[in-house]
Amino acid sequence: MDLAARWNEFRTGFSRAFWVANTLELFERFSFYGSKIVLAVFLAETVGLGSLGISLVGFYGFAVFCLPTLAGPFVDRYGFRRSLAACFAIFSVGYFLIALAGLPVGAPLVAAVGAKAWVVGALLVTAVGGSLIKPCIVGTVARTTTGETKSLGYSVYYTLVNIGGWLGPILASQVRLSVGIAWVLVGASGTSFLLFLATLAFFREPEGAPEGEKRTLAAIFRDAALVLGNVRFLAFLGILSAFWVMFWQVYDLFPFYVRDVLHVTRFELIGSLESFSVIFLTVPVSALTRRFRPLVAMTASFAVAGSSWLLLLFFPSWQAAAGAMFLLAFGEVLQAPRFYEYVADLAPKDQVGTYMGFAFLPVAVGALLAGPLGGFLVTRYVQQGRPAGAWVILSAIGLAGTVAMILYDRLVARPGEA
């Protein structure tokens, strides 16, 4: 397809519901990543939870990426419009509850409940809101595209997610320096409330029949037992989780390093470069590596992502930190598209949908493990003035993942498989 035809498809090939849904997703990701880039610092220092606060960021990430599967029956029953409205309403409450933990007005409430219990509850509320967004937006993209426009539709969705991931932290930096870090969460709450109103005003249930059967919680648990009984698949997911352990350090560890060691006050700007790089790397990297087998591309992603932390080991500067975000983004775009391709090939032909439904697990498990690891690395190395130890450990995870992928390819993957 030539460029002119591609542009015409982009301009005329999507419905109003598609664009409304993706615009809502853009601003939701704007709030999500803007709040997440400061969340570890907020919980550790403003709320006073220390390394536990960083661990709770990992718990929050795990919940956000695990709960969408359980939210499926709710979305099937109530539809995209009502589910999206509920999502933004819950987000608005959740973000505000998190903010109260660091605001003077919330001090009596937080003291009565206990800071740890309050934060855990607020994070869970927010994660419940997050569980509804993905089924609604991805489902709308699926229902409003055709076989000819589906690929471009998902590209638009993925690009807007990363634009939100880039711009959200930039605005968060300005808000934090102007009025205080807690107000980043208040801003996310306010934005979510506006998205709630926008959903009621502009979003309409997309036309077309839902793809596949409506699922019940019982069916989800049966599918989970089926998928988790596949040892090869579990081994593969376990290896890929290590990639996301490295990735989530952008939000768990990196802010402390950039601020305290490199003395860059607006640490959010450096962290946002990962999403910024993904926007521009996705298409060219996909084109250059389209002939690579998925396992080869994913193996290379570990090597590239692991080397990003070595850059900081040898060159402790803000320029090297920016370069590290570029390399980590390079690793992400090498891995993410080919991961889903490989999962589809790995699954039994009559169970592809079931397996794809659990493909998020490495992201969730990676977040869960990254939180405690980030807390340990911050207190043991960054705050002690010797961050090199943190980069050695993260690079070692990248090396271990590279070796594990090679061994998986040679010893576990079936001959001729991806």
Domains in the chain with CATH codes: 15-203 (1.20.1250.20), 222-418 (1.20.1250.20)
5: confidence class by pLDDT, cuts 50, 70, 90:
low
Three-state secondary structure readout of 317-368: CHHHHHHHHHHHHHHHHHHHHHHHHHHHHHCCHHHHHHHHHCCCHHHHHHHH
Cα separation, 140 vs 75, in Å, equals 11
**Any idea what the Cα angle at residue 163 is, between residues 159 and 169, rounded to 5°?**
150
Helix crossing, 217-228 with 51-100: angle to 10°? 160
- pLDDT tens sequence across 250-298: 999 999 999 999 999 999 999 999 999 999 998 888 888 878 888 999 9
Cα separation, 250 vs 259, in Å, equals 13
* Residue 148 exposed, middle or buried by CB count within 10 Å (0-12, 13-18, 19+): exposed
Please state the length of the chain. 418
Using CA atoms, how far residue 241 sits from 62, 363, 391, 398, in Å, is: 12, 6, 18, 11
DSSP character string of 15-73: -HHHHHHHHHHHHHHHHHHHHHHHHHHIIIIIS--THHHHHHHHHHHHHHHHHHHHHHH
- pLDDT tens sequence across 150-198: 777 877 888 899 999 999 999 999 999 999 999 999 999 999 999 999 9
* Residue 365 exposed, middle or buried by CB count within 10 Å (0-12, 13-18, 19+): buried
Q: Determine which of 120-124, 184-188, 226-230 has the lowest per-residue pLDDT on average.
A: 226-230
- pLDDT tens sequence across 74-113: 887 888 899 999 999 999 999 999 999 999 999 999 999 9
Q: Determine which of 263-277, 337-351, 381-395 has the lowest per-residue pLDDT on average.
A: 337-351
Cα separation, 7 vs 41, in Å, equals 42
User: DSSP strand E in 81-136: where?
Assistant: none
pLDDT given for residue 337 in this prediction = 75
pLDDT given for residue 192 in this prediction = 97
350: confidence class by pLDDT, cuts 50, 70, 90:
low
- The answer to whether the predicted template modeling score (pTM) of the entire model surpasses 0.85 is yes
| Highest-scoring range by mean pLDDT, 62-71, 143-152, 212-221, 365-374 | 365-374
* Helix (H), strand (E) at residue 295: helix 294-314
